[in-house]
Amino acid sequence: MSTSRTTPWTTFGGDLHLDLTERRAAGAGLRAALEDALREAVQEGRLAPGTRLPSSRALGEDLGIARNTVVEAYGQLTAEGWLSSRQGSGTTVARRAVPSPAVRPTRPQTRRPAARYDLTSGRPDLSLFPRTAWLAAARRALATAPHEALDYSSPLGRLELRQALTHYLARVRGVRTDPDHLLVCTGVTQGLGLLCAALRERGARALAVEEYGLPPQHAIVRAAGLTTVPVPLDADGARVDRLDARAGAVLLTPAHQYPTGAALSAERRAEAVRWAREQDRYVIEDDYDGEFRYDRQPLGAMQALDPERVVYAGTSAKSLAPGLRLAWLALPDALVEPVARLKALADTMSPVLDQLTLAELITSGTHDRHVRRCRLHYRRRRDQLVAALAEHAPHVRVTGIAAGLHAVLQLPPGSTPEPELLARARQAGLSLNGLSWHRAPALPPADTPPALVIGYATPPEHTFPAAVRALCELLREA
């Protein structure tokens, strides 16, 4: 095709794909072919009701046919009721019942059953997301970003964010890293998957996980071809003196064990790092709620003990929103190449706009103010929960509340068994998980009284008091 013959496909009011070739080949006249193609597009729902069609001039030019042929075809389809033509507003697709574009039966949506009160853990109060501040930061970031910021770039992520995170993580969590050892990933989900794949490349076949943890993480580990080997827990966190020799690394939640809430003691931290050094293994530190600590002794990241043996994993899922899918790994030097290579194969790099925006949010100080506001909010909720339980269900022991967005409620021996308790909760419109749901795979059920994991951040503010009341009601008779 020579260039001189091209006609502006670009004169369209909106793009429209109409194929007349086949119909013409089958012997149809131009007008009939056009009518037929348009009718089919409306019938199939490819042209949605209300859609404005290109002008007859534009469509004629585009298809290389006489304008009048288009006018006639539009007229015919208007007469048939497919199109609607009104003075001044051009020709549009008629707003009548047309089949939806669904060519197959609609699938059932996979979403959570709508409980009245969501007390499952793991998510923040989404009404706190700083929409205005985020948009303002996005505007500032896009105003100054060079064009190449919108291009493919390093699999590690945008340098702007890695620089901002280097300082932020050092300041807030004591992490020792630099932009060359930070990798931005699409949630800790992806970060953990990449790490497991990298560990498997270097020969690992198992990952040690805490006795209680996050079942979706266990699934990720197994999908990466590693088995999970459990580490027992006690009041000082994971029993790292009992680390399995088969494990290529251990996944820990040192600041606030998930979900039991213990903080890993200084001795245990040192011991885990010693194990990693001596056995040429790694520690993966999942700092999932590191910003939310309510007491006077904030626990820094254990990564600082040995940045070459501890991978630090952080996320914006709690401080901003899970939907951002914006998380990061501070990597030992030896893992940068394999993890970055696997990231490039997985999705080239993480999306850039949110990265630029978060970098701006952090460096402008807005992020700090936002986290502070959230911390006050969650502490107040925690205090409300604790006070209500002390008053209405004093037999329940509340633990793990020095940090984070959830609490563990331990019931006394002889209480209603967990499955029955959960069934009653469902009936009362409460969505929550038992502690046993969090138990690592391949472990026998624990011989302990029932316990619930309560996420107190998620319910909207106006339903929180009612949610707490419903919970107390449930526990009073448990």
Sites for a second copy among residues 413-452 (CB under 8 A): none
Sites for a second copy among residues 308-367 (CB under 8 A): 321-326, 333, 336, 345-354, 365
Provide, rounded to whole angstroms, the least separation between the CB of residue 476 and a second copy. 21
Provide, rounded to whole angstroms, the least separation between the CB of residue 346 and a second copy. 6
Is residue 297 close enough to count as binding a second copy by CB under 8 A?
A: yes
Provide, rounded to whole angstroms, the least separation between the CB of residue 206 and a second copy. 18
Distance between CA atoms of 41 and 12, rounded to whole angstroms?
16
Residue 239 or 377: the one with the smaller Cβ distance to a second copy is 377
Provide, rounded to whole angstroms, the least separation between the CB of residue 353 and a second copy. 6
Distance between CA atoms of 40 and 25, rounded to whole angstroms?
17
Provide, rounded to whole angstroms, the least separation between the CB of residue 62 and a second copy. 7
For 342, list phi and psi in degrees, rounded to 5. -65, -35
Which window, 72-80, 95-103, 229-237, 417-425, contacts a second copy (CB under 8 A)?
95-103
Sites for a second copy among residues 158-217 (CB under 8 A): 166-167, 170-174, 176-178, 180-181, 185-187, 189-190, 193, 216
Distance between CA atoms of 229 and 83, rounded to whole angstroms?
65
Residue 48 or 79: the one with the smaller Cβ distance to a second copy is 48
Ramachandran sector of residue 117 (left: φ over 0; alpha: ψ -120 to 50; beta: rest): beta
Which window, 68-76, 126-134, 233-241, 431-439, contacts a second copy (CB under 8 A)?
126-134
Sites for a second copy among residues 377-406 (CB under 8 A): 379, 382-383, 386, 401-402
Please report where in the chains the tokens 């998957």 appear, as a residue: 193
Query: Pick from 79, 80, 95, 127: which binds a second copy (CB under 8 A)?
Result: 127
Sites for a second copy among residues 128-157 (CB under 8 A): 129, 131, 134-135, 138-139, 142-143, 147-154
Provide, rounded to whole angstroms, the least separation between the CB of residue 414 and a second copy. 26
Long-range contacts, 57-61 (Cβ 8 Å, 24+):
58/11, 58/12, 58/13, 59/12, 59/16, 61/7, 61/8, 61/11
Torsion of CA 447, 288, 229, 454, to 10 degrees: 20
Sites for a second copy among residues 215-234 (CB under 8 A): 216, 219-220, 223
Residue 141 or 243: the one with the smaller Cβ distance to a second copy is 141
Residue 140 or 239: the one with the smaller Cβ distance to a second copy is 140
Distance between CA atoms of 302 and 175, rounded to whole angstroms?
8
Sites for a second copy among residues 232-261 (CB under 8 A): none
Which window, 16-24, 78-86, 207-215, 431-439, contacts a second copy (CB under 8 A)?
16-24
Distance between CA atoms of 458 and 120, rounded to whole angstroms?
8
Distance between CA atoms of 412 and 260, rounded to whole angstroms?
16
- 8 A C-beta contact, residue 320 and residue 129: yes
Residues 6+ apart with CB under 8 A from 354: 324, 326
Name the strand (E) or helix (H) holding 386.
helix 366-392
Instruction: List C-alpha distances in Å: 181 to 153, 172, 198.
Output: 16, 18, 15
